[in-house]
Amino acid sequence: MLRVEGLRVAYGERVVIPGLSFTVAPGQALGLIGPNGAGKTTVIRALSGVLPLQGGTIFWETVPLHTLPPEQRARWVAVVPQGATLPEAFTGEEVVAFGRTPYHPWWGPLADLDHLPIARAMIRTDTQAFAERRVGTLSGGERQRLLLARAFAQTPQILLLDEAFAHLDLKYQVRLLRMIRRLLQEEGMAGVLAIHDLHLAARFCDQLLLLREGRALAGGPPEVVLQPALLEAAYGIPMRVERHPEAGWLIWPEL
């Protein structure tokens, strides 16, 4: 179980997340939703260890992630960041192999044991064809899939995704979301996704956390959180929500 309690994060003097608590069970996905500037990316960055905490705790089972040094935390937590740039001269396989860095603190060569997670990660993301190609020759969506493969190669317990699907075409959005769901369940990993697309969030996530100005307006399964009044309070415009027998949810702003 991922347990976050009283998370408090600031940029300089400005407190952006005053105190946030939530849990994610193994095998489950939590979607962070809310308007621009609500704090979704900040929560992801705090969980990944990029931002220091001003307060609060982050536990995976009994492991206090908030006190671990970055190289140790990286064995537990992998992140697919928003709009990351990759070195253009690297090959696809080299990018994915970076996922094994936390297991080689002295930048040593890959061990035999590393090749299996790298190969599995590339098969799962359908990136084998990019193994020998330079990153500079790949499209935005293809690079995004390599970032996912790098995260899988890290064999984490917690997978953090910051708008990881924004640049993917519909086929890969669906394919990778299905694959991530299977991976979370098979490996007992916990997933936390910052996601703008409310339809994808509703279909994919077990739990949603609706943020506004760094605070949780609502948390729970989609049917609890996706209430017009709550969405209106978050986004500041009237919203309509309907269940659909095939699409699952239809959510749209009233024009």
Pick 40 or 150: Cβ nearer ligand ATP: 40
How far apart CA 78 and CA 140 sit, in angstroms, is: 20
Output the smallest distance, CB 16 to ligand ATP, in A: 4
Pick 184 or 210: Cβ nearer ligand ATP: 210
List of residues 6+ apart from 58 with CB closer than 8 A:
2, 3, 4, 7, 46, 47, 64, 65, 66
Output the smallest distance, CB 211 to ligand ATP, in A: 7
Alpha helices in 82-169 (DSSP H): 92-97, 112-124, 140-153
Q: Is 100 exposed, middle or buried (0-12, 13-18, 19+ CB in 10 A)?
A: buried
Q: Say which residue the tokens 């969030």 belong to.
A: 201
Output the smallest distance, CB 34 to ligand ATP, in A: 6
Q: What does the binding site for ligand ATP look like in residue numbers (CB under 6 A)?
A: 11, 16, 34, 36-42, 194
Pick 96 or 195: Cβ nearer ligand ATP: 195
Output the smallest distance, CB 39 to ligand ATP, in A: 4
Output the smallest distance, CB 140 to ligand ATP, in A: 17
Do 238 and 226 touch, CB atoms closer than 8 A?
no
Pick 136 or 140: Cβ nearer ligand ATP: 140
The rounded radius of gyration (Å) of the Cα atoms in the chain is 18
How far apart CA 28 and CA 174 sit, in angstroms, is: 17
Pick 41 or 154: Cβ nearer ligand ATP: 41
